[in-house]
Amino acid sequence: MDPRRVPRTVIDPKVRHVGFITAPDRSNSGPPDPIPSSPRASDFSPSGNSLSPVMIPPPRHLSTDLSRHFPHPPPPHSPLRGPRAVEYSIPAGSYNPSEFLSPSATTEFSEDPLSPRSGRKGSSGKFASSLPAGGFEMALAKQNNGEVHKEKKVAGEKPLKEKTTKAERRAMQEAQRAAKAAAKGEGGNAGVNSTNTVKSVKAVPQRKDNSPLAAPSEKKGGQPDKDKKKDAPHPRMQFDDENRVEKAKKRSVVKQTESRNRVELFRHLPQYEHGTRLPDLESKFFQLNSVHPAVYKVGMQYLAGNISGGNNRCMAMLQAFQESIKDYSTPPEKALIRDLTAKINSYVSFLIECRPLSMSMGNAIRLLKTRIAKLPLSLSEAEAKASLVSDIDRFISEKIMLADKVIVKQAVTKIRDGDVLLTYASSSAVEMILLHAHELGKQFRVVIVDSRPKLEGQKLLRRLVQKGISCTYTHINAVSYVMHEVTRVFLGASSILSNGTVYSRVGSACVAMVANQFRVPVLICCEAYKFHERVQLDSICSNELGDPDAISNVPGRKDINYLDGWSNSENLRPLNLMYDATPSDYVSVIITDYGMIPPTSVPVIVREYGREYLWV
Amino acid sequence: MDFQVVVLAGGFSKTLVPLVSKEVPKVLLPVANRPVLSYVLELLEQNDLRKLVKVVEGESAALLISSWISSTFVDRLQVEVTAVPEDVGTAGALRAIDHRLTAKDILVLSGDLVSEIPPGAVAAAHRRHDAAVTAMLCSVPVSGPSESGSSGAKDKTKKAGRYNIVGLDPTKQFLLHIAAGAEMDKDIRVQKSILRAAGQMEIRADLMDAHMYAFKRSVLQEVLNQKENFQSLRRDVLPYLVRTQLRSELFLNGAQSDENGSGMDAVQNSKVLLSQLLANASTPSFHEMYALDSAESAPISRKTHKCCVYIANKSKYCARLNSIQAFSDINRDIVGDASHISGYNFSNHNNIIHPSAVLGSKTTVGPHCMVGEGSQMGDKCSVKKSVIGRHCRIGSNVKIVNSVVMNHVSIGDGCSIQGSIICSNVQLQERAVLKDCQVGASFVVTAGSEYKGESLAKKEKQ
């Protein structure tokens, strides 16, 4: 059984840890089943689902396989995946068989989906018993609570620990280097050494530049500086680390009061009292001279929720940067490259304070910064600005507009007459696909699934109905009923991670899971600039928390007020998540500007084309 | 932030006779012994708005004001004072300084505003919605419980009760209708198209136009140039913009210049697509919905512009000194409830008595009072909820309640003053009794006379 199990664990994307998957896992306590091996084999046969080359390429399988041959003693994982991932990888390994469930379902219709599940249980039984169950259940199950806390604590401390070790390591290295140099100095450099000590005043500037002799002491002085730099708000700052939160608060422009009743599992994410931030930012309008008006406007629009949607937020940000670059002039005695980078950095941190950046925006910012850094020094200021402005334009037109066109062209081929297409919430790419298909005269029907509190689907619905497309509108509660008649599911994505996980509007994972259960292919439409090399196993470690009041209030229904005034109750912890992670198992195909690819090919694009942005 | 600030300082307001005079224009009326203008200027200074354009009606007033500003704010603010002819109205005043306006947006404030609402908030709301005009509305100050309970005060509140009828959209961000007080008693006409587009309208009468506007410069200039007969911002320009928000005739130039400004050299087609994308994503206000709907039926999409509104928080103080009642109300509030705006440090007894002021024996100065520099009071006086200016000479046995006494006033023994306003250099002889009166500058009230609810001024003034 063991040899069989091992490879299986490899194939499965490591996302299993998410709550909704573990649920079936737990309920299944059947004996180990030998069947599971067969679906694996079939995995590689192209007889898979249909839609397109959804194949899991063997090479990746092999390599991971090798590395995974010892998944049982957990320690070997750590060198491979870095310390942070460890806690997640362990349960993932143990649960893996369960994950297998979905690939088998998509590729093999005949296969009983239950059998792999039960098989998994047997294989992972030893681990599972000792491990806390999936994320959400953990929070509920009291006896597991302790474990969760522990895990969380570890997660919180990890980055810190890592940091100190790095610092220590550096210090050690410096010390060694210094010792070596000192030893050398004994012979030849002794003179310098003595002068250094004598004319210490003069020597100070020198020391910094070249003399390694003074390094140890110097470094210690420099250390705090470096630490400070590291403290700069990192997109993934852990908000359960009180020290850092304090520091970040001091720096921040927007006054942020953190709301008190936060869900324990999501402590590491920033959550602020909504409502107080916008007026506060507004009242500071004239004091924030460091922020360009265009950037300020975009920030306010983020904060107020006037702009949403990955592409639009990204475009709005880029256009604001464009404006600010146009108005930029290098201060005397400063280099454009450095000063502008610092400016952009300050804008970015301002935007982060308004709303956490999406990964696509991170990619765009990275592009812009590399473009600035790579500007040839010979360019005059006007030329440099012009080139940056045109770079931004090109990014918008190529990576977003053109990419959307390509996606539409490809996706339309997947729509046939008589199809019933389901989409969730509102995705700009999906909307364009539907409209284009309609223009081509295809006969199809659209089911728009929506959810509170944003009800984004209604806007999409309005626009589609206006164009004369026949639609069905329902809420996510009914998705399991409506899925019977659906033939394709089109979803947008905020980001796609390199393990194939689709990071998207909360609820997408649910829709994808139901679709998967009903054997309905799930097509994700996502521009390649949203791909990210990060690997995420669940939607817990990185997410965004929305306004908790939004879910307790029902606009227009004054009679539903059961939760009024409860926000300060000790025992109530409202949770309004913005995103979730859809495991790659549920995804049949990803439609990008580079073609239709299986989720397993995401890393290839990230690796091969990711660099391209930097050279555009 | 690309904003320009224009403070409209007015001239001699007719509603404030007899308080204002040739020597004292409206904005220099003292509120808690400081000209009311200083409150606006300090508010702006706090918000880092140090470059101002100031428009004053009438040359002499302009001279007075500019000399006062240069003496007080000499190194703190950069103020350009411009005089415009009298009776051109607020719109006319802006028309006169048209060529000075260069920034993208213009913030227009009235010089008689006493408020603690940061102008940034208005400006930010304006920017966020990319509005044509943003007006600040504040809740109508409840005129404080007039202790005198006099009928005169009541009459005045009724007279001053020119409510604005304000129509808001359900999100309370856009202005759908505004009617200035004068048109109050006619029936309200609401445009069907606006109502239909917005779906719902909230009509409120408890809001007051605080006369702090943010305008898009291109819009403002266009309106002012096209509509020569517009006199007032509040009564003409703002209602006009609100009325036409769904069939905007303006901004043709504005929109073009904006496009040139963003200077996208990308293909026209993609630009349209892009703007449409952006529009789809952002939560559409009813303006966009309307424009979108119309785009379906009509080939030319209708142009719209947004009229936003910033509703000040009720807890923030905001009042305009535009009537005699308001004058005494503001004076009372500044030394009373809204004392944090005054910038003075209050004593333990909740009042301010300048150290150089001399009080006689058994004289009491109650809370919410202020006694200015160098004033002298005799024995057995009592001062309640009143402001007394500089260098006043007050005899003994004088009662001052709920009143404002300006500078250099001499009050004889045994006078009683209630709910009145006494301007500078007034002389009150012994045992004069004033109740709810306004006494113009340099007036002499003869001994033993009694007045109730009258306004006294020197005849030769006119």
User: Cα separation of A48 and A588, whole Å?
Assistant: 10
A388 and A431 share one domain: no
Interchain contact A309–B (C-beta under 8 A): yes
A452 and A333 share one domain: no
Residue A99: predicted pLDDT? 41
Mean pLDDT of A132-150: 43
Residue A490: predicted pLDDT? 94
User: Cα separation of B419 and B428, whole Å?
Assistant: 15
Residues of chain A contacting residue B280, judged by C-beta atoms under 8 Å apart: 309, 312, 428, 431, 459, 463
Q: Residue A396's domain spans which residues?
A: 242-400
Q: How confident is the model at residue A134 (pLDDT cuts 50, 70, 90)?
A: very low
Distance between start and end Cα atoms, chain A: 50
A436 and A353 share one domain: no
**Do A286 and B266 lie within an 8 Å CB cutoff?**
no
CB atoms within 10 A of CB A104: 27
Does residue A358 lie in a domain region? yes
User: Cα separation of B282 and B289, whole Å?
Assistant: 11
User: Cα separation of A222 and A22, whole Å?
Assistant: 48
pLDDT at B301 over 70: no
Residue B298: predicted pLDDT? 39
Q: Is residue B451 left, alpha or beta, with left meaning phi > 0 and alpha meaning psi from -120 to 50?
A: beta
Report the domain count for chain A.
Answer: 2
**Do B278 and A307 lie within an 8 Å CB cutoff?**
yes
Does residue A465 lie in a domain region? yes
Instruction: List the CATH number of the domain containing A523.
Output: 3.40.50.10470
Tokens of A204: 């100070």
What is the number of CB-based contacts under 8 A between chain A and chain B?
102
Give percent of chain B with pLDDT exceeding 90. 0
Closest CA to A325 of A310, A339, A311: A339
Instruction: List the CATH number of the domain containing A324.
Output: 1.20.120.420
Q: Dihedral of CA B457/B459/B460/B461: which sign?
A: positive
Interchain contact A316–B (C-beta under 8 A): yes
Of the three residues A400, A434, A467, the one that is the final residue of a domain is A400
Of the three residues A344, A369, A400, the one that is the final residue of a domain is A400
Query: If you compute the radius of gyration of chain A from its CA atoms, what whole number of angstroms results?
Result: 27
Does residue A339 lie in a domain region? yes
Q: Is the ipTM of this complex over 0.85?
A: no
Give percent of chain A with pLDDT exceeding 90. 20
Mean pLDDT of A112-134: 42
A510 and A587 share one domain: yes
pLDDT at A62 over 60: no
What are the DSSP calls for A114-152, one per residue? Answer: HHHHHHHHHHHHHHHHHS---HHHHHH-HHHHHHHHHHH
Residue B55: predicted pLDDT? 81
Does residue A603 lie in a domain region? yes
Whether the CB-CB separation of A64 and A58 falls below 8 Å is answered with no
User: Quick one: closest CA in A to B2, which residue?
Assistant: A293
User: Cα separation of A594 and A604, whole Å?
Assistant: 11
Q: Dihedral of CA A134/A139/A140/A141: which sign?
A: positive
Token pair 């469930």 in the structure block, residue: A101
Residue A333: predicted pLDDT? 84
Residue B290: predicted pLDDT? 60
**Which is higher by pLDDT, A284 or B41?**
B41
Residue A493: predicted pLDDT? 92
Mean pLDDT of A243-263: 66
pLDDT at A525 over 80: yes
A207-221, A342-356, A460-474, B441-455: lowest mean pLDDT where? Answer: A207-221
A276 and A421 share one domain: no
pTM value is: 0.67
List Cα–Cα distances, A414 to A408, A428, A437, A518, in angstroms.
10, 18, 10, 18
Q: At what angle do helices A242-251 and A215-231 cross, to 10 degrees?
A: 80
Closest CA to B340 of B42, B94, B87: B42
How open is the CA angle B150-B154-B160, to the nearest 5 degrees?
145
Interface test with A, best of B127, B129, B260 (most A CBs within 10 A): B127
A477-491, B113-127, B238-252: lowest mean pLDDT where? Answer: B238-252
Whether the CB-CB separation of A449 and A426 falls below 8 Å is answered with no
Mean pLDDT of B244-255: 57
B25 prior amide bond cis, ω within 30: no
Interface test with B, best of A277, A286, A393 (most B CBs within 10 A): A286
Does residue A96 lie in a domain region? no
The residues with which B311 forms a beta bridge, in sequence order, are: B137
A116-130, B227-241, B425-439: lowest mean pLDDT where? Answer: A116-130
Whether the CB-CB separation of A207 and A219 falls below 8 Å is answered with no
Per the prediction, chain B carries an average pLDDT of 75
Edge-first strand listing for the sheet containing A419-424 = A471-475, A444-450, A419-424, A488-492, A522-525, A589-592, A595-597
**Do B282 and A301 lie within an 8 Å CB cutoff?**
yes
Per the prediction, chain A carries an average pLDDT of 69
Out of A301, A304, A315, whose CB is closest to B274? A315
pLDDT at A96 over 50: no
Q: What is the 3-state secondary structure (H, E, C) of chain B?
A: CCEEEEEEEECCCHHHCCCCCCCCCHHHCEECCEEHHHHHHHHHHHCCCCEEEEEEECHHHHHHHHHHHHHHCCCCCEEEEEEECCCCHHHHHHHHCHHHCCCCEEEEEECCEEECCCHHHHHHHHHHHCCCEEEEEEECCCCCCCCCCCHHHHHHHHHHCCCCEEEECCCCCEEEEEECHHHCCCCCCCCHHHHHHHCCCEEECCEEEEEEEEEEHHHHHHHHHHCCCCCCHHHHHHHHHHHCCCCCCCCHHHHHHHHHHHCCCCCHHHHHHHHHHHHHHCCCCHHHHHHHHHHHHCCCCCCCCCEEEEECCCCCCEEECCCHHHHHHHHHHHHCCCHHHHCCCCCCCCCEECCCCECCCCCEECCCCEECCCCEECCCCEEECCEECCCCEECCCCEEECCEECCCCEECCCCEEECCEECCCCEECCCCEEECCEECCCCEECCCCEEECCEECCHHHC
A431 and A363 share one domain: no
**Do A428 and B264 lie within an 8 Å CB cutoff?**
no
Residues of chain A contacting residue B283, judged by C-beta atoms under 8 Å apart: 305-306, 308
**Most confident among A82-96, B110-124, B391-405 (mean pLDDT):** B391-405
User: Quick one: closest CA in A to B128, which residue?
Assistant: A297
Whether the CB-CB separation of A486 and A560 falls below 8 Å is answered with no
Residue A360: predicted pLDDT? 86
How open is the CA angle A66-A71-A76, to the nearest 5 degrees?
85
Does residue A329 lie in a domain region? yes
Mean pLDDT of A158-166: 53
Residue A202: predicted pLDDT? 41
User: Cα separation of A550 and A548, whole Å?
Assistant: 5
- Helical segments of A263-415, H only: 277-283, 293-304, 310-326, 336-354, 359-373, 381-394, 403-412
pLDDT at A539 over 70: yes
User: Cα separation of B426 and B438, whole Å?
Assistant: 11
A435 and A345 share one domain: no
Out of B267, B278, B313, whose CB is closest to A312? B278
Mean pLDDT of B370-393: 87
A527 and A393 share one domain: no
pLDDT tens-place string over residues A456-487: 888 889 889 988 999 999 999 999 999 999 99
**Which is higher by pLDDT, B379 or A248?**
B379
**Which is higher by pLDDT, B199 or A157?**
B199
Cβ neighbourhood burial of A220 (10 Å; 0-12, 13-18, 19+):
exposed
Residue A111: predicted pLDDT? 41
Strand B399-401 to B78-84 pairing: unpaired
Does residue A296 lie in a domain region? yes
**Do A319 and B262 lie within an 8 Å CB cutoff?**
yes
pLDDT tens-place string over residues B399-429: 888 888 888 888 888 888 888 888 888 888 8
What are the DSSP calls for A412-475, one per residue? Answer: HTT--TTEEEEEES--HHHHHHHHHHHHTT--EEEEEEE-TTT-HHHHHHHHHHHTT--EEEEE
User: Cα separation of A165 and A150, whole Å?
Assistant: 21
Q: Is residue A308 left, alpha or beta, with left meaning phi > 0 and alpha meaning psi from -120 to 50?
A: beta
Out of B129, B270, B313, whose CB is closest to A401? B270
A392 and A450 share one domain: no
User: Cα separation of A372 and A340, whole Å?
Assistant: 8
pLDDT at B446 over 50: yes
Q: How confident is the model at residue A49 (pLDDT cuts 50, 70, 90)?
A: very low
Q: How confident is the model at residue A124 (pLDDT cuts 50, 70, 90)?
A: very low
Residue A305: predicted pLDDT? 78
Token pair 């690796």 in the structure block, residue: A607
Q: At what angle do helices A77-107 and A37-44 cross, to 10 degrees?
A: 80
The H or E element that residue A110 is part of is none
A465 and A323 share one domain: no
A275 and A305 share one domain: yes
Helix (H, G, I), strand (E, B) or coil at A533: coil
List Cα–Cα distances, B302 to A462, A465, B190, B249, in angstroms.
19, 21, 20, 9
A390 and A425 share one domain: no
Residue A276: predicted pLDDT? 67
Does residue A591 lie in a domain region? yes
Residue B285: predicted pLDDT? 58
Of the three residues A366, A400, A434, the one that is the final residue of a domain is A400
Interface test with A, best of B282, B301, B311 (most A CBs within 10 A): B282
**Do A285 and B265 lie within an 8 Å CB cutoff?**
no
**What backbone phi and psi angles, to 5 degrees, belong to A450?**
-135, 170
Out of A287, A306, A431, whose CB is closest to B47? A287
pLDDT at A231 over 60: no
Burial track A37-70 (b if 16+ CB lie within 10 A, e otherwise): bebbeebeeeebeebbebebeeeebeebeeebee
Edge-first strand listing for the sheet containing B165-168 = B175-179, B165-168, B202-204
pLDDT tens-place string over residues B345-363: 777 777 888 888 888 888 8
The residues with which A495 forms a beta bridge, in sequence order, are: A503
User: Cα separation of A118 and A36, whole Å?
Assistant: 9
**Which is higher by pLDDT, B462 or B358?**
B358
